Chain A
């Protein structure tokens, strides 16, 4: 299968941006920038400001990538898939939610926060804004970060009835843990017509002009 990276978006310590107007700076230590609604959407989006920090991070990067791919928010449906890799998932939201449960023996538990204590909920938020009806899932690595969402996403593109896949990694590291926070999404599509694309097969994985591409970070840095 020949594929092309049609869009790239990121929110990392060195800033946020899209592929068409910037260069992915890599995942480095540091405080993440605050992405506001007006950085992403021309129209009001009250829900965006109410998202928990993990969801807001993932939604922002995915929105930037989809816009970079020429997608506009709207109601018309398209069978695009969403796959994100996350080591820590929504643990920061989980902690924030349970902090509303502990006092008063649960009487003040927050239904709004609870809805976001599933790692895949933010993918649903992206899907709603862009009408994405393909499969959506978050895949988690163990301590050795062996998961490759890029591989999962490419398999989805090859095997399932989708027109594209937005593949990402999203991590908001809990306080005190030594790891990198940030989010990066790439929109991958099959090459239509003539064009020079990246080559993928289940046996060889993804291969670019300079050799194998093993993960999303490598793909983004190459792009």
Chain B
């Protein structure tokens, strides 16, 4: 099978536009959280989130199209014939909110497949499907895009992912008692929930033959991928981390590398008691006593739902090139089992692969392995 290159990426997050601003904010341990002003939070557990600065509704009243358009303007052109995959869990759900509040809404704009149509139209490409797999959506889209290239079915695949910070989602996580009343503190001993964020990412995967054409600077390589389900609970992860372990094992097997070659982990790290405990359990099962550095981006930009995997994957390049893992913002005292692994400061990495993982409702788990060098 062919190697798969991550040629370039663009992101829009609570830190603003571009991977550079995301990297700088993450490395400085900054947090993009601010009081929510889009809706009344007085009945909810929390009042903060990480919203994209300067994002205003489009003509249809939704923030989705402006966010996508802003991202695609930054991305620029991609090679002719690039296949498109999108990943979003709720799309333009703010339109449904308006509809429920008796404002006019066009139902045809609501289905999640509309995202792919918009991306394709903007870039002059053929629309592809939207992947919906909860908070592992963009990770799974990247895995499938990579497989398509590896098997010779595509020369280039563009994965575009996004999710909005809306009252729909905010109220839901509040009702599940999953929001932190303060701000999320991934892997912290006193963590008490997640903080929501919004964002978008576009990642261009290409075959090696396209590197000179499509990669703007030295690329990194997507070496392995794996997806597996817990089959235990709809909203809570399997406590023994079985699904995540299976996904990582599949990724390692796919990459043909040993677990000892993993130098660092970009974890899902939402800040909820159950997720973070599950991940530490899974990583202990995988890595034993070896203290592989771990970080979570969600303490900095919040939980961006279906876009999380893509945004986190976009940081793989600076992490691997500089061999530094950003601090886990919000962390003060690590959870038992996180000591020596998670840190409130940047961590140096040995040479090796970066493991990026995400998990979601429905018991889904996905893992990606990146390396600086081609296989």
A residues neighboring B (CB under 8 Å) = 77, 79, 82, 87-89, 91, 94-95, 97-99, 101-102, 104-107, 109-111, 114-115, 117-121, 123-125, 127-128, 130-143, 146-147, 152, 155, 159-161, 174, 176-177, 202
Nearest chain B CB to A93 CB, angstrom units? 11
Instruction: Identify A139's interface contact among B132, B227, B360, B362, CB under 8 A.
Output: B132
Determine whether the beta carbon of A123 is less than 8 Å from that of B43. Answer: no
A-binding residues in B (CB < 8 A): 40, 42-44, 89-90, 93, 96-97, 99-101, 107-108, 110-114, 116-117, 127, 129-134, 137, 140, 144, 147, 151-153, 167-168, 171-177, 227-235, 242-243, 246, 250, 253, 360-364
CB contact under 8 A between A110 and B175, given known A94-B93, A140-B130, A159-B147: yes
| With contact pairs A94-B93, A98-B97 given, residues A127 and B133 touching in the complex (Cβ less than 8 Å) | no
A143 to B106, CA, bound (A): 13
Q: Which residue of A lies closest to B40 (CB)?
A: A105
User: Are A134 and B228 in contact, CB atoms less than 8 angstroms apart?
Assistant: yes
Contact A142 B43 (CB under 8 A): no
Q: Is the CB of B168 within 8 A of A101?
A: yes
Supposing A91-B96, A115-B176, A143-B117 touch, asked if A137 and B133 sit within 8 A by C-beta, the answer is yes
Q: How distant is the Cα of A123 from the Cα of B136 in the complex, in angstroms?
A: 14
Contacts of B140 in A (CB 8 A): 135, 137
The reply to whether B361 and A142 form a contact with Cβ atoms under 8 Å apart is no
Partner of A142, one of B127, B152, B253: B127
Contacts of A176 on B, CB cut-off 8 Å? 107
A155 with B147: CB separation less than 8 A:
yes
Complex interface: chain A residues within 8 A of B167 (CB): 101, 106
Known: A135-B364, A137-B132. 17 other contacts (CB 8 A): A87-B111, A91-B110, A97-B168, A106-B167, A115-B234, A124-B229, A124-B361, A125-B234, A127-B231, A127-B362, A135-B229, A137-B140, A138-B131, A139-B132, A142-B111, A142-B114, A159-B147
Q: Do A133 and B230 contact each other (CB < 8 Å), given the known contacts A89-B111, A124-B362, A124-B363?
A: yes
A26 to chain B, nearest CB (A): 23
CB distance from B365 to the nearest CB of A (A): 9
Are A135 and B227 in contact (CB-based, < 8 A)?
Answer: yes
